[in-house]
Amino acid sequence: MTIEKEPVLDDVLLKPLVEDALAEDLGRRGDVTSQATIPADMQAQLQIKARQSGVICGMDLARLSFALVDASIEFVAQVQDGETVAAGAVLATVKGNARHLLTAERTALNFMTHLSGIATATRQIVDSVAQYPAQITCTRKTIPGLRIVQKYAVRCGGGRNHRLGLDDAILIKDNHIAIAGDIKTAIEQAQHFAGHLIPIEVEVDTLEQLEQALEAGVSLVLLDNMSPETLSQAVAMCKGRAKTEASGGITPETVRAAASTGVDFIAIGYLTHSTTALDIGLDFSA
């Protein structure tokens, strides 16, 4: 499938993340190893390289990691976020004060390896279900403070974002239903609160709950932890009445079975909480 290029995030959003990461790494005394072993005025050139194939994400975070340590460092990107690269590909060249390059190294690589891992896993899952209409979405199961870039990485991999935050839409889950008393009451209260301004989605885990949600007039239902057989029945019940989203423990190994049921969306928390980092390194270039 063709993956459209995802618009990059603005530096205004990224800068605080990088500043916090650098402050965490530098501590009170800075990079004492580089101070101890490298002359203060030494210049160097290094290359950021992919050590395995994958989808790249985090180039601007890497650029900012170097720039916020030393604004004079030259960062030349060779690829853009969302591009698929082979093992050994040069992703960027950085040139400047050697101490400062090494000071920024780990922060830059931490962002790139983590986000590229998410983008790569997303692309693999998106490709694996390309024959089905289902769209892959992520969840709010993100690392605190990194949600905006993790969800960006999902988009770079060809996935879609679910709610960015609690204010994006109403999602009535099991605890809301339990506290409200029943699913009908929870939906009626949500409809009264939201009017036509806020989208409403309801989580159901049985076909009985699903019928109650449909009778209440919801337009999107989250089908939680259902078997493929039950998902197929749920999709049939929702046809022409509501959009469907499968969720609950879906993995790369089980996503095709979920997609084959005809659901409209598949929410996968794995993408932002359990993916493996892509191996990317920074090598000295003589």
Active-site residues, by number, are 106, 141, 173, 203, 224
Q: Where are the alpha helices (DSSP H) in 8-69?
A: 11-26, 32-37, 59-69
3-state helix, strand, coil in the chain (%, to 5): 45, 20, 40
- Structure-block tokens of residue 122: 């997303």
Alpha-carbon distance values, 92 to 88, 243, 270, 280, 282 (Å): 12, 42, 29, 11, 9
- Residue among 7, 20, 25 at smallest CA distance from 156: 7
Nearest Cα to 246, choosing from 175, 121, 162?
162
Residue 95 pairs in a beta bridge with 45, 74
d(CA 202, CA 218): 7
User: How far apart are the C-alpha atoms of 98 and 105, rounded to whole Å?
Assistant: 11
Residue 77 three-state SS: strand
281, 153 in Cβ contact below 8 A?
no
